[in-house]
Amino acid sequence: MVERTLAIIKPDAVERRLAGRIIQRIEDSGFRIRAMRRVRLTRAEAEGFYAVHRERPFFASLTVFMSSGAAIVLVLEAADAIKKWRTLMGATDPAKADAGTLRKEFAQSIERNATHGSDAPETAAFEIGYFFAGIDLI
Ligand code: GDP
């Protein structure tokens, strides 16, 4: 089933000028980029995006990091896009990520891990709507 997911190239990767290489990997893996935008999140916007994690011990650190610099948000489309993108990203912790994954190659730590991807259809719908309007996705 053709599906859409929200991807973010996080501030650590944008700062290190890795966005082009990550976008190339996205296209080489067969995704279509349906929408893409550079954003600089405020702390409140990062807190809203990660609201499901507000009780986690790393919430403050994560939202400071995500609002520390520019990020690139993308809507990716493919068959089984949510799982496919999470497989390409690799495990949250780069020390546990498989060889050949983006996080293995580009992440610096469990927090500064280069990319984000939605984890389920409901979160993908929320996260896509957080950054893009319906008219951006026609
Ligand atoms: P994801 O779905 O693989 O992005 O992982 P989670 O939903 O569990 O966590 C969201 C984001 O929070 C991760 O991508 C990391 O940037 C960050 N994060 C997750 N676990 C930790 C942790 O133990 N410590 C810190 N500092 N950040 C974390």
pLDDT value of position 128: 98
Specify the long-range contacts of residues 13-17, CB closer than 8 Å, at least 24 apart: 13/106, 13/114, 13/115, 14/38, 14/69, 14/70, 14/71, 14/72, 15/69, 15/70, 16/106
- What's the whole-number mean pLDDT along residues 114-127? 98
Could you tell me the two tokens for 90?
């690799």
- Provide the pLDDT for residue 132: 98
Index of the ligand 1 atom closest to the CA of residue 66: 16
Q: What is the pLDDT of residue 101?
A: 98
Domains detected in the chain = 2-40+73-132 (3.30.70.141)
Ligand 1 neighbours (beta carbon < 6 A): 58, 61-62, 92, 110-111, 113, 116, 119
- Catalytic residue list contains 116: yes
Report the alpha-carbon distance of residue 114 to residue 108 in Å, rounded: 8
Residue 82, token pair as written in the block? 């949510």
Query: Average pLDDT over the chain, rounded to whole?
Result: 98
Answer yes or no: pTM beyond 0.95. Answer: yes
